[in-house]
Structure 1
Amino acid sequence: MPLRTYAWDDTYTRANVVFRSAMDEGLFERILRTAEGLEWVQISAAGFDWMGGDTLERRIGEGLQVTRSWNSYNSSMAEYVIGAMLLLARQFPAMAAAQQRREWVRFTGREIGGSTVCVFGTGAIGREVAWRTTALGATTIGVNRTGTPTAGFHETVARDEVDDVLPRCDYVILAMPLTTETRHTLNHRRFALMKESAVLVNVGRGALIDDEALLRATESGSIAGAVLDAFVQEPLPEDSPLWSARNVVVTPHCSFRTDRIMERLCADFTENLDRYLSGQPLAGLMREPSLGY
């Protein structure tokens, strides 16, 4: 989507609160530099890794509060994950291709019940995925930075222990922020640890995956397939090999887009606005700027 262009006037310099949605970086930078009374910025995104810069860092150091839309995307993205799992488990792409060829071919699907699902990220989105997969009869393993036990997961491990659990996972879900620590979490070595029948679903950030390693894994059959909704470069370039990769489904970063998303974005903001006006602590606050969350 092309960025909108906004006219500048003195209104911005008097702002105490900004709800940032489709605002280009130049305008946001100018607001940060000139709005001396700015106290709080809420963004219409689930994570902070895409924004930053020296001016923002300085303003945060001076007391600026930055919050995200913490409750807007959880259910929509979790439903996408379940749909993506079922898409490949029941071989819908293969059946759709057979329909185009007008061939009556019966495929044998896989049941999610009895499978093991590994969810990287035990935040709000990951927890929504966990209870849904549990309801389908799966065992769910959560992966977070420290291995802190999290409600809704049968088991939780630290990121540096994930090599021990990957070999027994049927589905691997990426629902965590991109940081210096999580870049290329899935690489050649970790794809080699996964089952040949394993399916990957990425609703996090594109750079969580080494694309070259993923292409090699899918082409060689060392994993069964992947559903990708986030990419290093977006829109995905026409010449990207991911478009035609074996058993890879590409979607245009739309896992969060539903008919109720605007309702929830507004609800998150107005809840925080009530908190701000009454002097209460804000929800969804950036906790660790250096790590992007």
Structure 2
Amino acid sequence: MSDPEIAILRQKIHGLSADDYATALRSRLPETEIAVAQTPSEERELLEQVPIATGFELSPDEVEAAPNLDLFACVYAGVGHLDLDAFEANGTAVTNASGVHGPNIAEYVIGSILSHVRGFRQAWRQQDRNEWRSYPAREFQGSTVTVVGLGSIGQAIVDRLDPFGVDTIGVRYTPEKGGPTDEVLGFDEIQDALARTDYLVLACPLTDETRGLIDSEAFLTLPSDAFMVNIARGGVVDTDALVAAMQANRISGAALDVTDPEPLPNDHPLWDIDTVSITPHNAGHTPNYYERTAEILATNVERYRQGETEYENQVV
């Protein structure tokens, strides 16, 4: 057996094993020697040898002990858990898995909105009581959807909104870049967007600028029949302000895949609000996760072999 070119670290991602990842990679790189670390000692040995490693995390000490590591392919879209300075000091490029979540998270958003529009939660409650009783519903067509964050996930959401005949507003750091929405505004104009919003979708990263972005003022600005979907990070929303807004009927409902704190304590008041649906950071789950991640890495392996120094999804 030749020396491995790629090491897959042991961490399990979204319930999928490293062996699943290896299968997806080998189908794309059949001539490549790919090793899966089964134990911590195997992981250390592989990191001393291979030019390419992939997984969720490497500590600064592990990076320093990997003198031959030219590329680390993180299997998460976010890299806030990594010490990027350590990789840079080691001369190791880092890529992320941005884009792999687009289809599944966009489906979560569309499903949450349509469930609210057509009153499915009310239907489910009545079904539990064997109760046949008509209830009012809304139409999605003609409404205004504001998507905060126009990265790969935000763009996937906007693409899937197109057939519904809605108006879209995008909010992003760099509005001059434009985007797929009907309007693109900067964060300094978000209050203007909120005042015209029927459905608010949060798809932005958690940064100093976005922490607590949706606060008491935002909930006062949104129309009282607005509905919010948060698939960003819990900290983008001021949780106390959200609870107060829901209890005062200042917005009509919310679908939360992320919360602050997370996990949400079982005695938290959000659990008891009928117009709030909560999922346990589950929107990103998909059986195709490693297939999409493998596609990104396979592209970058070819670039590496050709001597290129710029990679798809490169962050360092």
Q: Same fold by TM-score, threshold 0.5 exceeded?
A: yes
| 1:59 pairs with one of 87, 93, 114 | 87
Superposed displacement of residue 277, structure 1: 2.2
* Partner of residue 108, structure 1: 136
- Aligned with 2:176: secondary structure? coil
> Superposition RMSD on alpha carbons, in Å?
2.0
* Partner of residue 290, structure 1: none
C-alpha separation between the residues in 2 aligned to 1:194 and 1:268? 39
- Aligned with 1:142: secondary structure? strand
Contact 1:191 1:223 in 2 (8 A): yes
1:125 aligns with 2:153: yes
* Partner of residue 33, structure 1: 64
- The CA deviation string for residues 96-137 of structure 1, in whole angstroms up to 9 with x for no partner, is 011111111222221111000000011111111112112110
Worse-matched range after superposition: 175-184 or 265-274: 265-274
Structure 1 residue runs without a partner (length 5+): 288-293
C-alpha separation between the residues in 1 aligned to 2:91 and 2:270? 43
- Aligned with 2:229: secondary structure? strand
Superposed displacement of residue 84, structure 1: 0.8
Contact 1:116 1:140 in 2 (8 A): yes
- Aligned with 2:161: secondary structure? helix
- Aligned with 1:176: secondary structure? coil
Question: Which residues in structure 2 correspond to 1:1-293 (within 5 Å)?
Answer: 6-8=39-41, 9-21=44-56, 28-49=59-80, 51-53=81-83, 56-61=84-89, 63-280=91-308, 281-286=310-315
Task: Classify 1:28/1:6 alpha carbon distance in 2 versus 1 (closer, same or farther; 3 Å).
Answer: farther
C-alpha separation between the residues in 2 aligned to 1:242 and 1:273? 45
C-alpha separation between the residues in 1 aligned to 2:109 and 2:186? 22
Identity of aligned residues (%): 32
1:148 maps to amino acid: E
C-alpha separation between the residues in 2 aligned to 1:203 and 1:104? 33
- Aligned with 1:42: secondary structure? strand
1:7 maps to amino acid: P
Q: How many residues align?
A: 278
1:20 maps to amino acid: G
- The CA deviation string for residues 206-227 of structure 1, in whole angstroms up to 9 with x for no partner, is 1111111111111111011110
What TM-score results when the alignment is normalised by the length of structure 1?
Answer: 0.88
Structure 2 residue runs without a partner (length 5+): 1-10, 13-37
C-alpha separation between the residues in 1 aligned to 2:265 and 2:109? 24
C-alpha separation between the residues in 2 aligned to 1:275 and 1:240? 49
Superposed displacement of residue 149, structure 1: 4.4
Superposed displacement of residue 62, structure 1: 5.0
Which is higher, the Rg of structure 1 or of structure 2?
2
C-alpha separation between the residues in 1 aligned to 2:140 and 2:250? 20
- Aligned with 2:145: secondary structure? strand
**Following TM superposition, where does structure 1 have runs of at least 4 consecutive aligned residues deviating by more than 4 angstroms?**
3-6
Superposed displacement of residue 245, structure 1: 2.7
C-alpha separation between the residues in 1 aligned to 2:62 and 2:260? 28
Task: Classify 1:242/1:275 alpha carbon distance in 2 versus 1 (closer, same or farther; 3 Å).
Answer: farther
